[in-house]
Amino acid sequence: MVPSSPDDNPVDTSTGPQATDGSVEDLSEEELYAIVRVATEDAVLGALGTLMFVGIGIVLVSWGAALLMSATPLPAAIGVVLVLFGAYLALSSLRMIPPVREWV
């Protein structure tokens, strides 16, 4: 996971630290740092991914709405699909509706 500096004692954190009573008192400083670093990285990437999917959903909805204003049926049908998919993408990334993997 996190490489240790050469002067520190190497600790294997690949299997995950095991606290016996569920407290952090039994963890070494290096193990605690590794846990906090991985958790922080996961949280930041999750937030950025959510913002990206919501942004893509908004763009798809706006393009679909523009296509819905056309007078011909084919672009209007594509617009409906884009609006529905963009709305689904934005709402599922915000966890307002369940994602497809939970439907199956």
CA-to-CA distance for 63 and 85, rounded, in angstroms? 11
Q: Please check whether residue 64 is in contact with residue 79, taking contact to mean a CB–CB distance below 8 angstroms.
A: yes
How many domains does the chain fold into?
1
Residue 13 lies in a domain: no
15: confidence class by pLDDT, cuts 50, 70, 90: low
Cα–Cα nearest to 61, from 35, 36, 43, 88: 88
Over the stretch 90-104, which tens digit does the pLDDT of each residue have?
A: 999 999 999 888 888
Residue 92 lies in a domain: yes
In terms of residue numbers, what domain contains 64?
Answer: 25-97
pTM tops 0.85, yes or no: no
Residue 1 lies in a domain: no
Q: Which pLDDT does position 100 carry in this prediction?
A: 87
Q: Which pLDDT does position 18 carry in this prediction?
A: 54
Which tokens belong to 31? 């193990």
Q: Which pLDDT does position 75 carry in this prediction?
A: 93
